Each structure stands twice: as structure tokens, then as C-alpha cells.
Amino acid sequence: MTTTSNGTDPGRTLAVVSAGLSQPSSTRLLADRLADATVRDLEDRGHTVRVETVELRDLAHAVVDAMLTRFPAGDLAGALEAVTGADGVIAVTPVFTTSYSGLFKSFWDVVDPDALTGMPVLLGATGGTARHSLALEYAMRPLFTYLRADVVPTSVFAATDDWAASADDPGAGLPRRISRAGRELAARVAERPGEGPADPFAATPSFTELLGGS
């Protein structure tokens, strides 16, 4: 990362996508904890950080409309821009029926499939018991691998019990996992030049290139 001569840098943006349905939701709680950990680490590295949180519950109708009409309307358009324009993404879903929730998947289905290429992503999930924790690895991680995102090694699952476990409890350690995951994401985000989303018009090849390639 280049730092300007007066020691400031252009800053970083994190997009936090939470697919929790209840209000308040433990999914959102985990998402906020992951964001806090990442922000702390980035700030320790001297970056200023802006966090944009996307609550999918508020966009549920718009997501289905976008599937049917093929264009995002209203707040959904803004949310998609926030996610694809971020320097890093934290994506957290409740585990429903052995996998990410349908709303969570539907949201990523309306994101441009090329928009997350190389994007640092931290994954989180919540569920009633730890028996669901591997959903992160067999369902969520492949989804983001397909999108060619740069998924950090630590993903964080929070079962109901974890919220009551002592930080010192060697078996639980949710706060430790959150810190480690946040640190990993912060390292990736810090390495990345804050360049924002690709402009589809600027990326369009000239017609002579198109002709040559045909």
C-alpha cells in the first residue's frame, strides 16, 4: 500500500452483508463483530475504514424482483454498488437446511458474476448448534471460490452456545476466532490498492481489438 507523504492513505471500505432474518439477529451480531475486528486491525495498520452494512432482509423483495426483471431497483442498486465497490467483503448467513439461506444465495445470484474477482472475503455463519459449522466449508466457500473471490482461511461459525461461552474457555474461543479472521481479512484488504469497481465502459475493448479477436 502506498502511503502519501503526510502519512494518510486513501482509506478502505468494507461491505458487510448480513442475511439474518430476525430483529435483532445473531447473524448481524456476528457480522458486526467480524467488522469490528477487521476495522481495528486496519486502523492499527494506519488505515481509515468506512463500513457499509447491507441487511438482506430489507432488500428481500427487491432481490426477487431483480431476478425477474434482470435489473436492480432502488436500494438494491445501491447495495450492489457498495458490495462490488468495496475493498473487502464480510458475508454472514444463518444456516438453513444444511446450507446458506435462500435469500443469501439469491443476493449473490444478482451480483455480476465477475464483480468479486480477487475481492478479499471473510465468511461467517450462525446456527443453533455447532453441528452445522461445516456448512461454511462445503457450501459457502465453494460459492465464493466460483466467484473467484479471495476467501480468507479462517471462517467463523457461531452457534447459540458460543454467545455465552467465556473468552477463556479453551473449547469455545469465538472472540479469538473473530480476531484471527478479522486479522486475516485486514491483511488482504491492506495489500489491495483501493481502486474501486471496474468501469464497464472503460474496460470495453476498442472495435479494432474486437475485430482482431474475432
Partner 1 sequence: MQFGIFSVSDVTTDPTTGRTPDDTERVRNMLTIARHADEAGLDVFATGEHHNPPFVASSPTTMLGYLAGVTQHITLSTATTLITTNDPVRLAEEYAMLQVIADGRMDLMMGRGNTGPVYPWFGQDIRNGIPLAVENYALLRRLWTEDVVDWEGKFRTPLQGFTSTPRPLDGVPPFVWHGSIRSPEIAEQAAYYGDGFLHNNIFWPMHHTRQMVRFYRQRFEHYGHGRADQAIVGLGGQVFMRKSSQDAWNEFRPYFDEAPVYGHGPSMEDFTQQTPLTVGSPQQVIDRYASFVDEVGYYQRQMFLVDHAGLPLKTVLEQIDILAEDVVPELRRIVEAKRPADDVPLNPPSHAERVAAARASGEMGVTHVGDSVDPYTGTVAEGTQPVTSSRTAAQEARA
Q: Contact positions toward partner 1, by CB under 8 A?
A: 64-65, 68-71, 73-74, 77, 200-201, 204-208, 210-211, 213-214
Q: Is residue 74 left, alpha or beta, with left meaning phi > 0 and alpha meaning psi from -120 to 50?
A: left
Nearest approach, Cβ of residue 111 and partner 1 (Å): 15
Nearest approach, Cβ of residue 76 and partner 1 (Å): 11
Q: Residue 62: which of 99, 22, 110, 18 has the closest Cα?
A: 110
Nearer to partner 1, 71 or 138 (CB): 71
Nearest approach, Cβ of residue 89 and partner 1 (Å): 23
Nearer to partner 1, 167 or 203 (CB): 203
Q: What is the DSSP letter of 139?
A: I
Length of the chain: 214
Distance CA(181)–CA(54), nearest Å, equals 20
Q: Residue 147: which of 211, 79, 70, 83 has the closest Cα?
A: 83
Alpha helices in 45-153 (DSSP H): 60-69, 74-84, 102-110, 135, 141-146
Nearer to partner 1, 63 or 123 (CB): 63
Nearest approach, Cβ of residue 173 and partner 1 (Å): 45
Nearer to partner 1, 167 or 211 (CB): 211
Nearest approach, Cβ of residue 114 and partner 1 (Å): 13
Beta carbons within 10 angstroms of residue 81's beta carbon: 16
Nearer to partner 1, 14 or 56 (CB): 56
Distance CA(211)–CA(180), nearest Å, equals 49
Q: Does residue 122 sit in helix, strand or coil?
A: strand
Nearer to partner 1, 5 or 69 (CB): 69
Beta carbons within 10 angstroms of residue 185's beta carbon: 28
Nearest approach, Cβ of residue 10 and partner 1 (Å): 25
